[in-house]
Amino acid sequence: MESFERILSEHAFFHDLPAVHLGTLVGCVSNVKFGAGEFLFREGDAADQFYLIRHGRVAVEAFAPGRGSITIETIDEGEVVGWSWLFPPYTAHFDARALGLVRAFALDGACLRAKCEKDAELGFDLTRRFARVVMQRLDATRLQLLDLYGDHGNG
Amino acid sequence: MATMATAESRPAVAADPMRPALFVVRKTSRETADTFTLSLAPAVPEGIHRFAPGQFNMLYAFGVGEAPVSISGDPAKPEMLVHTIRAVGSVTRGLRKLGKGDTVGVRGPFGTAWPVEQAHGHDVVIVAGGIGLAPLRPALYHVLLHRGQYGRVVFLYGARTPADMLFARQLREWRSRFDLEVEVTVDRATAEWQGTVGVVTKLIGRSPFDPGSAMAFVCGPEVMIRFTVAALQRRGMTDPSIFVSMERNMKCAVGFCGHCQFGPAFVCKDGPVFRYDRTLPFFGLREV
Amino acid sequence: MPRRPPFVVDRSGLEALLHALQSRGYRTLGPTLRDGAIVYDEIRSTADLPAGWTDEQDGGHYRLKEREDGALFGYAVGPQSWKRFLHVPLQTLWRARRAGQGFEILDEPAPESPAQAFVGVRACELAAIAAQDRVFLGGEHKDPHYRARREAAFIVAVNCGTAGGTCFCTSMKTGPQAVEGFDLALTEVLSETDHVFLVEVGSERGAEVAAELEGREPTDAEARAAEDALRAAEASMGRVLETEGLKDVLYRNYEAPHWDEVAERCLACANCTMVCPTCFCATVEDVTDLAGLEASRVRRWDSCFTLDFSYVHGGSVRTSRGARYRQWITHKLATWHDQFGSSGCVGCGRCITWCPVGIDLTAEARAVREADARKREARGDGKL
């Protein structure tokens, strides 16, 4: 295995990915870096890429007039940012901003979609990985939604 | 459990558990918009109340009433009884109005304590949500004072927003220690916050403790406790190694008034700290 | 010192008993007739007792009826119990007064209250007093107000000759015979010719008072009649509660649909908790004077049926009536065992009689048990 593939396979998101799939998608992967405060993407941008964070922290934000940027969640190393590349219209729903230096693998969405169309097994494996991430994020979001520490008194 | 050394009653009078001792407010501080800390000293020098971490007092505000309040101070320094209180009702708002020199009635300490002795030789995982940090801080003080007795010590804290975090100065101190893992998270934040945003349960997955030999102390809103326990179980912790602190309506704190019942347990004397498996099956039941 | 064996007195002997108690400073309390019910109040002489009356009790039903004889104790229990004299409905705990920047707690001696003598305590009520003793005196903390009244109380029990319409003391093994917990116990023996009382001594204190009473040995007929009365009471219970395994049945049926069904009927009026002789829940409140200079800390009866009984910041834990009924019955028949080592129910039937819609605790327990048995059978009785 090429050393780049090996490094890619060590990222938590690709844990246990069969080597043959790794070989297929490695062509869609590049190494990227963001400086502190730089945006990985902004709401409405074409969601061409998603990112496997190798180092650093990314804030997922929404901008509300009058309130400014609100951080909804932070993503750290070992995790993935961006899933809008999976479905049309392939545009980002939130801002993603680097808090400090961020190193990541960038995966090209269009490239991956094409490979998944041809290789159903790869497609199923990737979709399942994303489904798990979405489930975990949804659980977490629901808990945040409960505003557990907020003042819910009525007296 | 701590024994109470107090001179609140005259020797001739039989001990009356409903009669408070008088304490004086020495210091007040505002923690967040709705939470404040009262530091109390006994009105008479012999009136020092020793307490164990996790216990609570009933604080009496003249003309208003009593409320159960977690003792949030250092158990090794009981000369100053520190309480961190969220102002959510008439009594707690009455307590918030108090200033230096005012009198407060104190009954206690009551209840069961975090098993800090039982945890010797184990990793300790402390998970606090919101005001739940108040009854956990004494445990953290104790563990840090006897640091050599414990394995890895992890402290996870979730708050609503950065402005709602308690004990900011202390959090900074704790983060600077090399023998303590501190992770804090908030449910949401503005862009200035560079820390983690997300639920506190998310921190458990990658927290550096050995689930096979850890004990966890968890306190916060009941929903948060449920999800935290689930996350600890996913890490491989067993139910008897998880301890939770419960809250129920209290009027007497000595098992006479019946209000604080949680299944067969009286939270005031069988709790508030419970070993998690002993709360089952009641913990998951609605309206119990 | 061997106890005086049971002896017989007639009505004048009973009168002498009351006077003996009064001369020792006791305030004598006993059943009286008022507002269409038998209520416990001060009695000066046997003339104050409801002679010739009995009660007709059923779910949500209480009527007084005239008897054909002049029995002094020919009825079961009324709406109140002796708890209102021991665990009083309203109790000032202490008072405080503003002083300088703060306040001080007034050092007041407990007000003198006369020792009380309870005359006519049924076996179920003895069991109820014992149950409350365990609550207020059996734990780490003791209630000094309860203790003072309890230690000073002189108890004259009365054995029941018939059971009431909602009684089930035999199910709870608390009666009908008064076995312990009394200073003296009476059994009324009434025949065509005779109206006497068999007196049993139950304590040193009782023996001391009994020494003042002239009595004679009971005749065989009288002894038999006393026995027969108890058998008659045993045989005429108005209700039955199957207690075998009941605690476990309730523990595993917190989520039974039955509680929603009870919720449809229960008004959460709290009558049952007020009349129940073992219910002890109370709240503690501040009562201030108009100027705000003095505050009293007052304990008063409360009920788990009220919505804010279980209030914590954010709302009440038990908002639905079904959950509140479930709390009450599960406490009474299940968790009480784990808390105090006995059932919380003594089988007096008051909760059934005084429920405005006639909810019957024995029927509710039966319904849950039967539904549980059906569920277990459907599951093959293996997994729960």
Phi and psi based region of residue C88 (left: phi greater than 0; alpha: psi -120 to 50; beta: remaining): beta
SS3 sequence of chain C = CCCCCCEEEEHHHHHHHHHHHHHCCCEEEEEEEECCEEEEEECCCHHHCCCCEEEEEECCEEEEEECCCCCCCCCCCCCCCCHHHHCCCEEEEEEEEEECCEEEECCCCCCCCCCEEEEEECHHHHHHHHHHHHHHHCCCCCCHHHHHHHHHCEEEEECCCCCCCCCCHHHHCCCCCCCCCCCEEEEEEECCCCEEEEEEECCHHHHHHHCCCCCECCCHHHHHHHHHHHHHHHHCCCCCCCCCCHHHHHHCCCCCCHHHHHHHHCCCCCHHHHHCCCCCCEEEEEEECCCCCEEEEEEEECCCCCHHHHEECCEECCCCHHHHHHHHHHHHHHHHHHHHCCCCCCCCCHHHHHCCCCCCHHHHHHHHHHHHHHHHHHCCCCCC
Strand ranges, E, within A17-147: 29-34, 39-41, 49-64, 68-75, 80-81, 95-108
Output the six-digit token pair for C142: 């003791």
Q: Which residues from chain B sit within 8 angstroms of residue A143, using beta carbons?
A: 199, 201, 223-224, 227
* Distance (Å) of CA C48 to CA B202, C23, C34, C66, C153: 73, 18, 11, 16, 20
Q: Which residue type occupies C367?
A: A
Which one of C251, C299, C310, C384 makes the best mutation probe of the B interface by having the most chain B beta carbons within 10 Å?
C310
Is B257 close to C282, i.e. CB distance below 8 A?
yes
Q: Which residues from chain B sit within 8 angstroms of residue C302, using beta carbons?
A: 251, 257-259
CA dihedral C133, C134, C137, C143 (to 10 degrees): -70
From C105, C140, C335, residue closest to B20, measured CB to CB: C105
Express each pLDDT in C35-70 by its tens digit.
999 999 999 999 999 999 999 999 999 999 999 999
Cα B56 from Cα B107, distance rounded (Å)? 9
Tell which residue, B62, B104, B55, B2, has the closest CA to residue B253: B55
Residue A93 has pLDDT above 70, yes or no: yes
- For the four alpha carbons of C211, C213, C217 and C218, in that order, the dihedral sign comes to negative
Cα B196 from Cα B56, distance rounded (Å)? 31
Q: What is the pLDDT of residue C108?
A: 80
Express each pLDDT in C168-183 by its tens digit.
999 999 999 999 999 9
What is the maximal distance between C-alpha atoms in chain A? 65
DSSP state of B132: G
ipTM of the shown complex? 0.94
Chain A: nearest CA to C315, how far in angstroms?
6
Q: Which residues from chain B sit within 8 angstroms of residue A71, using beta carbons?
A: 188-191, 193, 197
Q: Which residues from chain A sit within 8 angstroms of residue B129, using beta carbons?
A: 148-149
For A111, the enclosing helix (H) or strand (E) is helix A109-118
Express each pLDDT in A27-39 by its tens digit.
999 999 999 999 9
Which one of A143, A145, A151, A152 makes the best mutation probe of the B interface by having the most chain B beta carbons within 10 Å?
A143
Q: What is the pLDDT of residue A1?
A: 52
Is C335 close to B249, i.e. CB distance below 8 A?
no
Q: Which residues from chain A sit within 8 angstroms of residue C316, using beta carbons?
A: none
Q: Confidence class of residue A63 from pLDDT cuts 50, 70 and 90?
A: confident
Cα C288 from Cα C286, distance rounded (Å)? 6
Q: How many CB atoms lie within 10 A of CB B56?
A: 27
C50 backbone dihedrals φ, ψ, rounded to 5°:
-75, 70
Average pLDDT, chain C: 95
Q: Is B38 helix (H, G, I), strand (E, B) or coil?
A: strand
Rounded mean pLDDT, A14-43: 93
Residue whose structure tokens are 């293996």: C382
Chain B: nearest CA to A25, how far in angstroms?
28
Neighbours of chain B (3+ CB pairs under 8 A): A, C
Output the six-digit token pair for C306: 């009220």
Chain C: nearest CA to B226, how far in angstroms?
16
Which one of A58, A148, A152, A154 makes the best mutation probe of the B interface by having the most chain B beta carbons within 10 Å?
A148
Q: Are A55 and A100 in contact (CB under 8 A)?
A: no
Q: Which residues from chain C sit within 8 angstroms of residue B24, using beta carbons?
A: 102
Residue B254 has pLDDT above 60, yes or no: yes
Cα B112 from Cα B24, distance rounded (Å)? 25
HSE-CB for A127 with a 13 A CA cutoff:
12
Chain C: nearest CA to A70, how far in angstroms?
26
Tell which residue, B193, B131, B201, C143, has the closest CA to residue A143: B201
Express each pLDDT in C312-355 by its tens digit.
988 899 999 999 999 999 999 999 999 999 999 999 999 999 99
Rounded mean pLDDT, B203-215: 96
Q: Is B88 on the interface with A (CB under 8 A)?
A: yes
Cα A77 from Cα A81, distance rounded (Å)? 10
Residue A89 has pLDDT above 60, yes or no: yes
- For the four alpha carbons of C297, C302, C306 and C308, in that order, the dihedral sign comes to positive
Express each pLDDT in B257-286 by its tens digit.
999 999 999 999 999 999 999 999 899 899
Return the residue of B nearest to C148 by Cα. Answer: B14
Neighbours of chain C (3+ CB pairs under 8 A): A, B
C373-379, Cβ contacts within 8 angstroms, sequence gap of 24 or more = none
From C96, C282, C338, residue closest to B62, measured CB to CB: C96
Express each pLDDT in B127-150 by its tens digit.
999 999 999 999 999 999 999 999
Q: Confidence class of residue B8 from pLDDT cuts 50, 70 and 90?
A: very low
Find out whether the peptide bond into B109 is cis, omega within 30 degrees of 0. Answer: yes
Q: Which residues from chain C sit within 8 angstroms of residue A155, using beta carbons?
A: 311
Q: Which residues from chain B sit within 8 angstroms of residue A69, using beta carbons?
A: 190-191
Q: What is the pLDDT of residue B47?
A: 79
Chain C: nearest CA to B147, how far in angstroms?
33
Beta partners for C98? Answer: C103
Neighbours of chain A (3+ CB pairs under 8 A): B, C
HSE-CB for C123 with a 13 A CA cutoff:
24
Q: Is B159 helix (H, G, I), strand (E, B) or coil?
A: strand
Q: What is the pLDDT of residue C40?
A: 98
Cα A40 from Cα A102, distance rounded (Å)? 10
Q: Is B48 on the interface with C (CB under 8 A)?
A: no
Cα C232 from Cα B151, distance rounded (Å)? 70
Q: How many CB atoms lie within 10 A of CB C46?
A: 17
From B248, B251, B261, residue closest to C331, measured CB to CB: B261
Q: Confidence class of residue B96 from pLDDT cuts 50, 70 and 90?
A: very high
Cα A105 from Cα A113, distance rounded (Å)? 17
Is C282 close to B105, i.e. CB distance below 8 A?
no
Q: What is the pLDDT of residue B2?
A: 30
Cα B97 from Cα C352, distance rounded (Å)? 48
Residue B6 has pLDDT above 70, yes or no: no
Q: Which residues of A touch C (CB under 8 A)?
A: 152-155
Is B65 close to C143, i.e. CB distance below 8 A?
no
For B78, the enclosing helix (H) or strand (E) is none
Rounded mean pLDDT, A74-82: 95
Residue A146 has pLDDT above 80, yes or no: yes
Which one of B23, B40, B259, B285 makes the best mutation probe of the C interface by having the most chain C beta carbons within 10 Å?
B259
Cα A81 from Cα A54, distance rounded (Å)? 11
Q: Confidence class of residue C114 from pLDDT cuts 50, 70 and 90?
A: confident
Return the residue of A nearest to C313 by Cα. Answer: A153
Express each pLDDT in C77-107 by its tens digit.
999 999 999 999 999 999 999 998 899 999 8
- For the four alpha carbons of C19, C20, C26 and C29, in that order, the dihedral sign comes to negative
Rounded mean pLDDT, C13-38: 97
Return the residue of C nearest to A151 by Cα. Answer: C314
If one compares A106 and A155, the residue with the highest pLDDT of the two is A106
Q: Are B86 and B26 in contact (CB under 8 A)?
A: no
Helix C258-265, helix C321-330: angle, nearest 10: 110
Return the residue of B nearest to A76 by Cα. Answer: B196
Is B62 close to C93, i.e. CB distance below 8 A?
no
Q: Which residues of A touch B (CB under 8 A)?
A: 57, 59-61, 67-74, 76, 78, 97, 99-100, 140, 143-144, 146-151, 153, 155
Residue whose structure tokens are 């139910």: B239
If you count residue pairs, one on A and one on C, with CB atoms under 8 Å apart, how many are there?
A: 9
Is A143 close to B188, i.e. CB distance below 8 A?
no
Name, of A61-70, B279-288, C196-205, the range with top average pLDDT. C196-205
Is B266 close to C339, i.e. CB distance below 8 A?
yes
